Structure 1
């Protein structure tokens, strides 16, 4: 039996949902391995080796590499091919400065617009994040950290700003995980996230904005010290 054409529908339009492609699945897997530190900064990713490991052809690997390069996680280097990006400390600091600036601005707009639904959603994600902290589920820290922060910003109704912030968070995800791991800052992160949630739920933008910026910038300072020590140790050992 033919499906009846809906009013205003263009004849021949295909509305089937496109399933995720192999290269996207592969990109997701490689992204997680980079973010959790399995692939180190400066490490070369060889297409042939990745293809063999995942038992796929080189074509989806190339496409996955393009996605990772667009996200800033890998870069093509002369005579080396794809390598995991190693950001200078100055650039890592700049990314956190941008986070503090943009996330402060979006919080100023989102907190007064908090709804019962957005507050409940943020509370649920915060609970998941705390479970991940206590369970030492490092693989989930970065993702849930972003999900929690994002839940505080959606009511701002600033999709372009939110997309920019998300891109920056992709760059800082591995460093957030590293900062929590190297500095044993999980307990402090819990305290500060709970306070951020409380201020958002209270719709108190005047207090939430400076607290959020201080939260991000304090993490930056601890992280830069930790990364500097880690890189110095790796150079001394090599």
Structure 2
């Protein structure tokens, strides 16, 4: 019996799946560069440089850039390529308003769904941020802060909420460091984290929602304040 060979359609499907997977990996790599600040607002995306660095052809780089443009992280300029998006204060304010509503819901869901072990992990992150705040270590605090807020959303156990939250927060990475670098802001930010943890440990729905919303409002105030 002759050995069967894959059809052209099947081969094309496999090729498309591999390409999609590769472009997804590249997309995540570029997104990580934006989140870390390695790529800053206004930076031009150098396709050739990124392709060489990531060990891929320019095709997946272009696909990833199109995805990141749809996600609001990149913008295209006719005949000039892609750039990391520069966000205005008004655009950031709009995102913070939505983020505040999502944060309130997140707090309520955590109270209802999170285990004691998860809450203890969140408390440990706040303790670690206290150390970074005392040392005025912005880089360490920023990383721990990202982990804390990611963990909060994970603890809510709602994939739809998580998807909306991550899209908003990924865009706010273009702006968020600004609100932390002014002296004393790390300690103020972590005091708000303490209020969140206190409400969550008490399993207080209303207090958790209020503390989460207040923290987002505080973040906006710090970010929008004149430097």
Q: TM-score range by the shorter chain?
A: 0.7 to 0.9
Aligned to 2:61: 61
For 1:72 and 1:131, locate their aligned partners in 2 and report how far apart those are by CA, in whole Å. Answer: 34
Aligned to 1:138: 139
Partners of 1:129 and 1:149 lie apart in 2 by: 12
1:127 & 1:67 partners in 2: Cα distance?
37
What CA distance in whole angstroms lies between the structure 2 residues aligned with 1:73 and 1:56?
21
- TM-score relative to the length of structure 2: 0.76
Q: Paired residue for 2:3? A: none
- Report if the CA contact (8 A) 2:192-2:215 is conserved: yes
**What TM-score comes out, normalization by structure 1 length?**
0.73
Unaligned runs of 5+ in 1: 1-17, 230-238
Tell me the residue number matched to 1:222: 222
Task: Report the Cα distance in structure 2 between the residues aligned to 1:184 and 1:63, rounded to whole angstroms.
Answer: 41
Question: How much does 1:196 deviate?
Answer: 0.9
SS across alignment from 2:87: coil
Pairs within 5 Å for 1:52-91: 52-91=52-91
Q: Distance in 2 between matches of 1:28 and 1:136?
A: 26
CA distance in 1, matches of 2:78, 2:140: 31
After superposition, the CA RMSD in angstroms is 2.9
Three-state SS of the structure 1 residue aligned to 2:225 is: helix
Q: Distance between the aligned counterparts of 1:37 and 1:153, measured in 2?
A: 22
**Residue 118 in structure 1 maps to residue 118 in structure 2:** yes
Answer with 149-158 or 62-71: which moved more: 149-158
Note the alpha carbon deviations across 1:15-59, whole angstroms, 9 max, x for none.
Answer: xxx9x9554444333223323333332222121233244454212
- Displaced runs of 4 or more, over 6 A: none
Alignment partner, residue 32 of structure 1: 32
- Show the 5 A alignment for 1:1-238: 22-130=22-130, 134=135, 136=137, 138=139, 141=142, 144-182=144-182, 184-226=184-226
Contact 2:138 2:181 in 1 (8 A): no
- Unaligned segments of structure 2, at least 5 residues: 1-17
Could you tell me how far apart the structure 1 residues matched to 2:154 and 2:29 are? 27
Equivalent residue number for residue 4 of structure 2: none
8 Å CA contact retained: 1:36, 1:139? no
Q: Is the 8 A contact 2:92 2:172 kept in 1?
A: yes
- Secondary structure of 1:44's match? coil
Q: Give the 3-state SS of the residue equivalent to 2:173 in structure 1.
A: helix
**Would you say the 8 A contact 1:106–1:156 is kept in 2?**
yes
